[in-house]
Amino acid sequence: MGKHELHPQNWVDLYADYLFNYAVARVSDAEIAKDLVQETFFAGLNSSKNYKGDAAERTWLVSILKRKVIDHYRKSNSKKGKAEVRINYSTDSESEGDWLEEQVADPFTRDGDNILENEELGLALQECLDKLPKKQAQVFKMKTIQGMETEDICNELDINPSNLWVMIHRARTSLMGCLNENWF
């Protein structure tokens, strides 16, 4: 498979809605989500020379947006933000690809100091995942860690989208409870 190329002139048409929906689901505020998407496009333009073409353009932009969401929460220093940071930067084997991709996507990464903390969190998250009912854990990993599309997960597991979202919601709630007890 050949390397991907960036086409910034198409970003708004191709990715703005997807990135906005991604952001608004995490910050629950349309104005903040719009700002984060704009910042993502600017950061993408500014760091386009660092784009290696290993990831699809949308995946690369999402990884920049994840960093923007985390920075937003760091600035507001909220509990949800700390949880978002920790969940996004787990280092269990399944999310290794995302983890590496985010490092590639953001040349300004500053987590040399956090590697040990991230490893500890990865272990805590894995322990919490292991406590979930099997299908819930499977759905959560497929959607959140592997980034699979809803339709693909539903087809693979023979469930409908509302079942999927209920399972993901329950998994998130359980994981947050577990991480609050064992990590925070």
Location of structure tokens 């984060």: 36
Q: Which two tokens stand for residue 117?
A: 């903390």
Residue 97, pLDDT score: 40
- The total of other beta-carbon atoms located within 10 Å of residue 42's CB is 12
Q: Which two tokens stand for residue 36?
A: 């984060």
Q: Identify residue 98 by its one-letter amino acid code.
A: D
Please, are residues 124 and 182 in contact by the beta-carbon 8 Å criterion? yes
Spatial neighbors of 5 by CB under 8 A, at least 6 apart, are 53, 57
Residue by residue, pLDDT tens for the chain (184 residues) are 457 788 889 999 999 999 998 888 888 888 999 999 999 999 998 888 888 888 888 989 998 998 888 888 777 765 554 555 555 544 443 443 443 334 434 444 444 445 555 666 777 778 888 899 999 989 988 887 777 888 888 998 999 988 998 898 898 888 888 877 776 5
Domain ranges across the chain: 1-117, 132-184
* Domain 132-184, CATH among 1.10.10, 2.50.20, 3.30.310, 1.20.5: 1.10.10
Q: Which two tokens stand for residue 177?
A: 């409870």
